[in-house]
Amino acid sequence: MNKRKKNSVQDALEFITAEDSEYEGCESSSDEDSGDPNYIPHKDVESDESSDSDSCDSSDSETEPHSSHILTGQPKAAIKGQKFSWRKKMFEKLNHNMLLLLMEQTNLYSVQNSNHLRNVNTANKELQILIGLYLRMGLCQMPGNRAYWENDTRCPMVADNMSRNRFQTLLGSLHFTDNTDLLHRDAEDKCWKIRPWLEMFRKQCLDIVPEEYNSVDEQMVPFKGTHGPIRQYVKGKPHPWGLKTWARCSSSGMLHDFVVYQGGTGKKTLVGIGGDVVVKLFADNVFSSAPLVLTLLQRQIYLVGTLRGNCLAGRQLEDEKSLAQRGRGSVDAGVTKEESMVIVKWYDNKSVTLISSYCATEPQDTVRRWSKSGKAFVEVKRPHIVEYNTFMGGIDLLDACIARYKYHMKSRRWYLHLSCHHARCCQRMVDLPS
């Protein structure tokens, strides 16, 4: 075989500057064969090993890339006339009726309030921009609202869509109900200032088809203001001061239902406060008790959850000291006579007690754990009921995702913090694949 000639730098320069060369003959012939005045030829990249004699006969060359792998920036003829339908996913859950309510009540409040010199006269489209700016501010954190419009710290995506004064005017006028409507107000409802919004958003969450595994947990909306009638303090939470809600989420972090906690009613029920929430939410996994398991089982809802030591329904299990002497992975379990529920106590680093109506200890598997004494990984037996850990983190996953869009807005109006929390939940629904 003849050795192929390598092109030098001088050959490359002559090829670029030449006006009448054999390379132009190849390009002109391809233009004539195309018959399309808008045709844009592919410019093949010559390799270092290609010869001058192969320049025009490159159709069968192995060094030429296939035409389907070349990106020319021009649409193919088959899809050139194809029409694409685009939609905005953000406001599928924050729908038109919710924005219409917000628009009407905001305009009404600006007229009723004597502090406003004139009606804000906002519209649906402007409220969409306002919510979008709030989410954008969560991605680009600054010390205060004014910083987004300052010359040195200006954020074009925020400042170009709305002026600073208009943003602050709208933010100070947002309302969700008529303050003067005393006839239709529930005296025992502490959330009456945002009740219509809550019911609309809850309906949107209930319309989502739930997944197989759901979990119920408490969720805190940070708020330290002194004017909140439902403000709670929960020790041990990342945000101990705030508005407490009971939420039902799937294992993927999708919000399906919620109830705003307004404080204790003083009435005792069979399943307790947490049990009442679960019965209303029809959840699968939650803080549990034996009466709650039986109540849900009658409705064909199966439950797995952790159990407190004083809620064992008369069943005596080994104490933590005895299980620790038997070693990591030791299990003690008890089943009711009807075999409708099982209580399992498992010892890992410390003991945990679980109750279930659909799974027990078998089949067991093993998990890797680090042993401080042996300074090595060891295999620890794990009962099947500990599947609870796999699907119980839906609320925590939702909190982690919506924290990306959280802007630390200063406002004494507690209901504004709650509505912004719902806007971030809508953004989470958009992020999840449909």
Q: How far apart are CA 256 and CA 206, in angstroms?
A: 5
132 in helix, strand or coil? helix
Residue 368: per-residue pLDDT: 81
Q: What digits encode the pLDDT tens for the residues 117-157?
A: 567 889 999 999 999 898 889 888 888 889 999 999 999 99
Q: What digits encode the pLDDT tens for the residues 5-45?
A: 556 656 665 665 665 444 444 444 444 444 444 444 444 44
Task: Tell me phi and psi for residue 333, to 5 degrees.
Answer: -140, 160
Residue 176: per-residue pLDDT: 94
At residue 106, does pLDDT exceed 90?
Answer: yes
Q: How far apart are CA 363 and CA 365, in angstroms?
A: 7
Omega cis (within 30) before 383: no
pLDDT (average), residues 171-193: 85
Q: How far apart are CA 136 and CA 314, in angstroms?
A: 54
Read off the pTM.
0.64
Contact 279, 295 (CB under 8 A): yes
Contact 219, 258 (CB under 8 A): yes
Residue 101: per-residue pLDDT: 94
206 in helix, strand or coil? helix
How are beta strands 304-306 and 331-335 bridged, if at all? unpaired
Q: How far apart are CA 331 and CA 353, in angstroms?
A: 10
Average pLDDT of the chain is 74
Q: How far apart are CA 49 and CA 55, in angstroms?
A: 12
Q: Whole-angstrom distance between the N-terminal and C-terminal Cα of the chain?
A: 59
Q: How far apart are CA 185 and CA 105, in angstroms?
A: 15
51-60, 220-229, 271-280, 301-310, range with greatest mean pLDDT:
220-229
In sequence order, what E strands does 27-119 have? Answer: none
At residue 369, does pLDDT exceed 90?
Answer: no
CA atoms within 13 A on the CB side of 295: 19
Of the candidate ranges 188-197, 242-251, 381-390, the one whose mean pLDDT is the lowest? 381-390
Q: What percent of the chain has pLDDT over 70?
A: 68
Residue 265: per-residue pLDDT: 56
pLDDT (average), residues 87-100: 73
Cα–Cα distances in angstroms (integers) from residue 127 to residues 103, 117, 130, in the given order: 7, 20, 5
Residue 83: per-residue pLDDT: 66
Q: What digits encode the pLDDT tens for the residues 300-324?
A: 777 777 777 666 666 677 777 788 7
Residue 362: per-residue pLDDT: 78
At residue 61, does pLDDT exceed 60?
Answer: no
Q: What digits encode the pLDDT tens for the residues 251-294?
A: 888 888 899 988 765 555 555 555 555 544 433 444 667 778 78
325 in helix, strand or coil? helix
At residue 2, does pLDDT exceed 80?
Answer: no
At 349, is the pLDDT very low, low, confident or very high (cuts 50, 70, 90)? confident
